[in-house]
Amino acid sequence: MREFSLPALYEVPADGNLTDLIRRNAAQHPEVPVVARKREGQWTDVTATDFLAEVQAAAKGLIAAGVEPGDRVALMSRTRYEWTLLDFAVWSAGAVTVPVYETSSPEQIAWILGDSGAVACLVETAAHSAAVESVRDRLPALEHVWQIEPPHSGGQSDGAVARLTEDGARVPDAELKARGATANADSPATIVYTSGTTGRPKGCVLTHRSFFAECGNVVERLRPMFRTGESSVLLFLPTAHVFGRLVQVAAVMAPIRLGHVSDVKTLTDELGAFRPTMVLGVPRVFEKVFNSARAHAHSGGKGKIFDKAAETAIAYSRALDDPSGPSLQLRLRHKLFDLLVYDKLREVLGGRATHAISGGAPLGERLGHFYRGIGFTVLEGYGLTESCAATSFNPYDRQKIGTVGQPLPGSVIRIADDGEVLLHGEHLFTGYWNNEEATREALSDGWFHTGDLGTLDADGYLAITGRKKEILVTAGGKNIAPSVIEDHIRGHALVAECMVVGDGRPFVGALLTLDEEFLPRWAEENGKSDLSRDALLQDPDLLAELQKAVDGGNALVSRAESVRKFRVLDTQFTEESGHITPSLKLKRGVVAKDFADDIEALYA
């Protein structure tokens, strides 16, 4: 199939903007908790009425400071309550939010604030303030920097929200109302800068229409997961990333109770305390949960039980796709393991959630079946910054594991003659800020060229098979899409990152980095804790275990595409090292340059 579309389930308001959502919530659901915030270690609910009041008070402060309609206001912070509050405050002032990753370097900050022409910047910490100040002489448009966390020990009165609320007290309600109405559906809501695996990040202009079309159709298609007064979601994705913004706006649109987690290291505890009904994350989170549970079971002498339970869950899920369904014996075995294992795993995920949405990278068929088999269905989706997050996703009632689902209702997916995925719909960005050339390359006659390769089945389910720019061509002329095998190898508990190489080479190789959390566990379980790190990385048993991961990936591709040799690196690919982007994408060119000697060693 070359093209597939679904009718829209949501009609974008003709003349509204995203601030209409919080006013509607306060009018229709005044006492319903729409947000929860952490105070003194406890989750405290914020009603729709109180949230609107806090947003409007902060918006008045922006207006008092001279922020005009259409001005760009940068927001640099971890995921937290104030992020959502200030995002809606910026919109309520008629301005445009420019998210900045809290891990950004001064050079990246200078580029994003300078290119967008930001007149103000809201930062989280003193370190962020210092980073902005270090490049302020290169930002002539920047007039204000407010810090969310109080810079002094005097208390919350010094924080950005309190400062803005105090400064805006003199702004009349009528002025705020007029300002909030300046933006319409086609006005820019945000400029999200792409991660930039190559070259400078580009600013994707997403309008209020983009978010309405995206979130409105997601909520309506997944309506049983978005029940007002019943459903809740815990947001731990970076809100600087478009996927995090999708979660935020969709939760407010539904509305459902929204919580924020700043530090993923505390995620397990927060899931238990918040008990969301739905989880949205990236595959690495679900891989970690599985690998941690398996490692814990093995260290406690219950490894065989866990492994049998995992195999049963996978078999049970696969049988659900068969017309005859699971056999009686499989159902009985599944029920037993539900009591012994699955229930405990669901508790780790909060105990109430039955569904999750995963995006950002492929989840993997085996892991998808495992989670559905334990009663926690992970619905895989696909999207880009330019498509305002999800442009396809698996519906809760018609999931096809191994695909990224059907098109967002109201949009079209087309497969070009060369296999490239093309998109059309109201959710798409309108262009790259200050970059007409890049816009012309990406948008043609209303179709966005994603750069990804994919296929559509007879029911319109999309499968992503690779990325055009990442295609390797071996010396023998074989085209290799590295993502398929990389994603499988990366799913192994010992592997942190995998990069396939082989462009112009006689065969395909791979560079591996090891997961620092699981390497010591593996060494202890296998009686090798006394080995030095250098000796451990060269240990035959460790290499044999990694070979199993590689063999599993090789089973998915032809022999010509399979990894013949791999090399273990004694380092990590991190954002700080410059090898991955804030959204965890590999900077292949940088890795290839920095580890050129290791690549050469594969072919020596």
DSSP string, 174-223: HHHHHHHTS--TTSEEEEEEP--SSSS--EEEEEHHHHHHHHHHHHHHTG
What is the model's pLDDT at position 319? 97
pTM for the model: 0.85
DSSP-assigned letter for residue 580: B
Round to whole Å and give the CA distance between 374 and 339.
10
What is the model's pLDDT at position 157? 56
- pLDDT tens across 297-336, in order? 988 889 899 999 999 999 999 999 999 999 999 999 999 9
What is the model's pLDDT at position 282? 85
- pLDDT tens across 169-206, in order? 999 999 999 999 999 999 999 999 986 555 688 999 99
- pLDDT tens across 483-528, in order? 878 888 988 989 999 999 998 888 999 999 999 888 998 998 899 9
Burial track 460-474 (b if 16+ CB lie within 10 A, e otherwise):
bbbbbebbeebebeb
What is the model's pLDDT at position 155? 47
3-state secondary structure of 279: strand
> Partners of 357 in the beta sheet?
280, 379
Whole-number percent of the chain with pLDDT over 90: 75
Instruction: Check: CB of residue 523 under 8 Å from CB of residue 574.
Output: no
- pLDDT tens across 520-556, in order? 989 988 999 999 999 999 999 999 999 999 998 888 8
What is the model's pLDDT at position 456? 97
CATH superfamily of 471-602: ANL, C-terminal domain (3.30.300.30)
Q: Please report which confidence band the pLDDT of residue 475 belongs to, taking 50, 70 and 90 as the band edges.
A: confident
Q: Which residues make up the CATH 3.30.300.30 domain(s) of the chain? A: 471-602
Q: Is 103 exposed, middle or buried (0-12, 13-18, 19+ CB in 10 A)?
A: middle
Asked whether residue 381 carries a pLDDT value surpassing 80, the answer given is yes
Burial track 510-541 (b if 16+ CB lie within 10 A, e otherwise):
bbbbbbeebbebbbeeeeeeeeeeeebeebee
Round to whole Å and give the CA distance between 136 and 125.
16
Average pLDDT, the chain: 92
